[in-house]
Structure 1
Amino acid sequence: MRFWRTKRKISQFDLSLQMSISARHLSFIETGKSKPSREMILKISDSLNVPLRHRNLLLIKAGFHAAFENKPLDDFKMRIIKEALNRVLEKHEPYPAMVVDFSYNVLMWNSSYQGIIESFTENKSLNKNQNAILMLFSKDGLRSSIQDFNTIALFILKRIWEEAASNQHDGLMDIFEKAQKMVNVDLPSSIETDRSLPLMTLNLQKNKNRCSLFSTIASIGTPVDVTAQELRLELFFPADAESKIFLENLK
């Protein structure tokens, strides 16, 4: 709990005031001198906005059952979420879109995303590189088609390192380590990017095919399931008129 409190940059005193308990009691819980109840663990976790996955781990470590389910996306209970995601993917055509978990494993995608993979990769399939990060970094994935790959690679590595570290997510840290080995670089303190645009674009070119993309990322607004909380919906948009035409003609 001390880790999450420090991560959220809140003192024991401020957290105790927020929760209406004594700072002494909170200190005893953090140091293990006092065993918190199940309700207290959930209350502290909620105050610190601890990810649901780690709330379960805190409960289990204290000898309690997990509070939040972790159903796979294909589970019957997740059908309303999957149906909603499918609708967004379909409505986003002719632009690419995909659904990933917290480790960027691709769980769902639309036909335009498949079209991008077929147009700019060697293996023409999502089967070999089912992870979006490894798809970008793999030599038979998108890597050979990415213009200014080193800049893009460093930008993505820095982002997933920060996400993995701040969320203490082992799966994403494993992906970070695999991706870093593919490029064999250390992360710099800062990354030089093209400032002529207000965002980072992914510029792809292979033979006569060229497409420049940027993306937005959305998540489930009120999750009470670990899987639901960790889902990410990434929607890609053309960054210029030429890319818009390319996507509209993509079959």
Structure 2
Amino acid sequence: MPPTCLLDALAAVPDPRDDKGRSFPFAPILALLVVGILLGRRSPGAIIQLADDYGGDFALLLGFPRRRLPTASTLSKLLPRVDVRALEAVLRKWIAARLPPDDVLVVNMDGKCARGSADRAAQLPGVHLLAAFAPRFQAVLAQLRVDTKTNEYKAALELLNILPPRPGGYIITGDAMFTQADVCQAVRDRGDDYVLVVKDNQHALAVDIDAGLAFAAQAATFSPRRAGAAEGTGARSTVRANDREGARAR
């Protein structure tokens, strides 16, 4: 049975600190970071400011034993040591457990560069993330970093592997980057469906789709009953003509 409380779920993330460096419990620290980010706080100092904004009881509600939060310096030192994959896995499972199980869920697969992650002075590119986002619930169901040596198309195959399956399934949407045979096959292997955008940069595929749609439109106007009636009329006319020819021969 998955935990219904996010604080309980965060307890499954391993604590990177040794026993001597645990002045504050780890799960409440993670909860503090989650709440701070959801409130638009983008730095450890801004997150710690929540104690002044909401009072000492705010720390108790998050699970801290006393009415005080760790310092911004403590958060800055701890953040690089957090197991990001373990944290994302916990959040992914917690969100998936709260989604309605039987409804088909539309998921947008798209990549973005994290704001403020690029360092132009050091000539370092920004952090490129590929995410599976459910707009109906405003939730990221899965996310991974796109390596600088690959692209979103290759990362999509890995993202589909970590996206939690669900009874109702998904409709995966994406732009022209993902109109690749192996991506489409990976979606079908999961038992899901896809709706992908095809642009003019894939001319042959666009022509094939147009031809298929045109054939389907033409086939929709075909009536088997009318065709059968026409064939029957032709057959009867042939028989009558043959009968008349036979009579003349006799």
Provide the TM-score with structure 2 as the length reference: 0.24
Provide the TM-score with structure 1 as the length reference: 0.24
